[in-house]
Amino acid sequence: MKYILNSREMKQCDENTMRRRGMLSAVLMERAALATMQEIVKRYPDPATKVLVVCGSGNNGGDGVAVARLLYLKGYNVTIYFAGNREKATEETKRQMFIAEQYGVEISDEYPKDIVDVIVDALFGIGLSREVTGKYAEILQKMTEQDGYKVAVDIASGISADTGAVMGTAFAADLTVTFGFIKAGQLLYPGAEYTGELKVADIGIDEQSLYEIKPELKVLETSDLKRLPRRVNRSNKGSYGKLLILAGSKQMAGAAVFAAKAAYRMGCGLVRVATVEENRIILQEQVPEAVLAVYNNGTDVVKFVETQLHWADAVVAGPGISQSDLSERMLYELLKRIQVPCLCDADALNLLSKHPDWWKLVQSPLVITPHLGEMARLTGRPITEIRDRLVQIAQEFAMEHQITVVLKDARTITAQPDGQSYINVSGNHGMATAGAGDVLSGVVGALLAQKLDIYLAAALGVFIHGLAGDAAAERVGHCAMMASDIVDGLMDVLRKQEDTKRQ
């Protein structure tokens, strides 16, 4: 697990490193510049390389001036364009400009006309505080349109470090060298697209510099797979949890099939599918490993729900259940009685958005897995707003309802009720296909049934689901990928993890 910082947290971390750990600002800046220079030299080892460094008045500009000096001392053909206001420059930046001039580097106040090989963007860093307009917008435009390899210092100028939003105009980098921690805006879209390749340089700011800061965002890594439920030799199917899946309707058997298959692939000991009578044959054919509990309009819903809940260690409710009267009754009676962890997806969420009072019914830990459209219905906010404020909206909803919210998008956010969230970086656009969400329900459901901590079950489930999609992409490519390939991808991911553990 790694922390991802927003600008406020990062500034506090810089402060802590200087004030509380005694590190000097100039040393941090020198290390930041050194790391950036080294990344450039790695890619462009020939000192005949022409480099333009565009600097602003803030400390990001100071980093840029220092990068230029270090390249100059290696014999590179460097020009600094100082786009900021010299008088208003920070003390550190003024000092860097003085040093650069003493070393013989020229600083120009005009945008140079020459063609260059590398353009270094040190206009704004994490101190960007408003929309970029006028002269600065023109400069960013020019830098982006100009030919040459594009390197951003700390963060692409114009990208919000907090949300990844383009603040008017932004620099589109091929490479970003960031310092200490990844910033949220480098993982969230559209910022991720402007970041290019991302290198995190160690400049002496690390987790110890956090002190009492509890970052709001975290990201899981492959090393976190070791947190999966342990399997032991002396065990039986009862040891790995019993998952009840309320899924499928007359026209939609597939949702139940994918969720059940994914749950079994994720190691669940026993899966029982509660579905409509009409799905009996297809489920028995497609997932013979699953136990079936079928219902119809004549079923005593209360008795049915009580029997199933008595058996289950965890429940997945919603994939493909439709919004029929029968599904509505089934969900209502289930939410009223449930005492084990529960995941609600798809039509269960659509029903919940019709009955906001139902939240109060649920006494057990709840995970919801809405996509943007479902989240729009749940919150009554437009999809565009949800997309722009992905983390905040997921967090607000999780805190308000004291539940875990998995808000599905290209970067899925798993928000915990305590205000912390995971941002997921696995997966690919091939997974934008029917049934992928049902697979996710099954994966997370299986982890809940295996008694993994609820937040971890949700975040790790999302991460593994993405990895399974990446494995599927290797096998079948992006365009041809179907939900069943993601289920198969789970085999690759878990098998690889078992091999790693054995080594």
Which residues are annotated binding-site positions for K(+)? 60, 121, 157
484 binds, options K ion, ligand NAX, none, Cβ within 5 to 8 A by partner type: none
Q: What angle do CA 465, 469, 470 make, to 5 degrees?
A: 120
Q: Which residue of 51, 80, 126, 331 would you call a contact of ligand NAX, by CB under 6 A?
A: 126
Q: State the nearest-atom distance from the C-beta of 382 to ligand NAX, in Å.
A: 26
Q: State the nearest-atom distance from the C-beta of 45 to ligand NAX, in Å.
A: 25
Q: State the nearest-atom distance from the C-beta of 88 to ligand NAX, in Å.
A: 6
Residue 239 interacts with ligand NAX (CB under 6 A): yes or no: no
Which residues, in sequence order, are CB contacts of 169 under 8 Å at separation 6+? 132, 136, 137, 140, 141, 158
Return the sign of the alpha-carbon dihedral for residues 299, 301, 306, 312. Answer: positive
290 contacts 271 by C-beta, under 8 angstroms: yes
Q: How many residues bind K ion (CB under 5 A)?
A: 4
Please give the span between the terminal C-alpha atoms of the chain, in angstroms, as a whole number.
Answer: 22
Q: State the nearest-atom distance from the C-beta of 152 to ligand NAX, in Å.
A: 10
Residue 395 interacts with ligand NAX (CB under 6 A): yes or no: no
Stretch that binds ligand NAX, among 21-29, 112-120, 246-254, 391-399 (CB under 6 A): 21-29
Residue 154 interacts with ligand NAX (CB under 6 A): yes or no: yes
Residue 127 interacts with ligand NAX (CB under 6 A): yes or no: yes
Structure tokens at 182: 């990844």
Q: Which residue of 3, 6, 14, 275 would you call a contact of ligand NAX, by CB under 6 A?
A: 14
310 binds, options K ion, ligand NAX, none, Cβ within 5 to 8 A by partner type: none
Structure tokens at 448: 């809940």
Which residues carry a binding-site annotation for AMP? 408-412, 437
Residue number with CB closer to K ion (54 or 228): 54
* d(C-alpha 94, C-alpha 372), whole Å: 46
The DSSP annotation for 194-240 comes to HH-EEEEE-SS--GGGGTT---SEEE--GGGGGGSPP--SS--GGGG
Q: State the nearest-atom distance from the C-beta of 388 to ligand NAX, in Å.
A: 18
Return the sign of the alpha-carbon dihedral for residues 4, 7, 12, 17. Answer: positive
Residues in the chain: 503
Residue 204 interacts with ligand NAX (CB under 6 A): yes or no: no
Q: How many CB atoms lie within 10 A of CB 226?
A: 10
Q: Which residue of 5, 32, 415, 458 would you call a contact of ligand NAX, by CB under 6 A?
A: 32
Residue number with CB closer to ligand NAX (88 or 226): 88
216 contacts 395 by C-beta, under 8 angstroms: yes
Residue 121 interacts with K ion (CB under 5 A): yes or no: yes
Residue 56 interacts with ligand NAX (CB under 6 A): yes or no: yes
* d(C-alpha 293, C-alpha 345), whole Å: 20
Residue 132 interacts with ligand NAX (CB under 6 A): yes or no: yes
417 binds, options K ion, ligand NAX, none, Cβ within 5 to 8 A by partner type: none
56 contacts 122 by C-beta, under 8 angstroms: yes
Residues 59-78 within binding reach of ligand NAX (CB under 6 A): 59-61, 63
Residue 153 interacts with K ion (CB under 5 A): yes or no: yes
DSSP-assigned beta bridge partners for residue 234: none
Residue 128 interacts with ligand NAX (CB under 6 A): yes or no: yes
Instruction: Indicate the burial class of 462 (C-beta count within 10 angstroms; 0-12, 13-18, 19 or more).
Output: buried
Q: Which of 324, 255, 249, 333 is nearest to 294 (CA)?
A: 249
290 Rama sector, left if φ>0, alpha if ψ -120 to 50, beta otherwise: beta
Q: Which residue of 113, 130, 310, 360 would you call a contact of ligand NAX, by CB under 6 A?
A: 130
Residue 194 interacts with ligand NAX (CB under 6 A): yes or no: no
229 binds, options ligand NAX, K ion, none, Cβ within 5 to 8 A by partner type: none
Residue nearest to K ion (CB): 157
28 binds, options K ion, ligand NAX, none, Cβ within 5 to 8 A by partner type: ligand NAX
Stretch that binds ligand NAX, among 124-132, 251-259, 319-327, 387-395 (CB under 6 A): 124-132
Residue number with CB closer to K ion (22 or 134): 134
Q: State the nearest-atom distance from the C-beta of 55 to ligand NAX, in Å.
A: 9
Residue 201 interacts with K ion (CB under 5 A): yes or no: no
Q: State the nearest-atom distance from the C-beta of 159 to K ion, in Å.
A: 9
User: What proportions of the chain, in percent to the nearest 5, are helix, strand and coil?
Assistant: 50, 15, 35
Q: Which residue of 6, 79, 157, 416 would you call a contact of K ion, by CB under 5 A?
A: 157
Element (H, E) at 107: strand 107-108
Question: What's phi and psi for 74, nearest 5 deg?
Answer: -90, 5
Residue number with CB closer to ligand NAX (67 or 253): 67
Residue 153 interacts with ligand NAX (CB under 6 A): yes or no: yes
Give the per-residue SS3 of 326-357.
HHHHHHHHHHHHCCCCEEECHHHHHHHHHCHH
Q: Which parts of this chain interact with K ion (CB under 5 A)?
A: 121, 152-153, 157
Q: Which parts of this chain interact with ligand NAX (CB under 6 A)?
A: 14, 25, 28-29, 32, 56-61, 63, 90, 124-132, 136, 153-154, 179
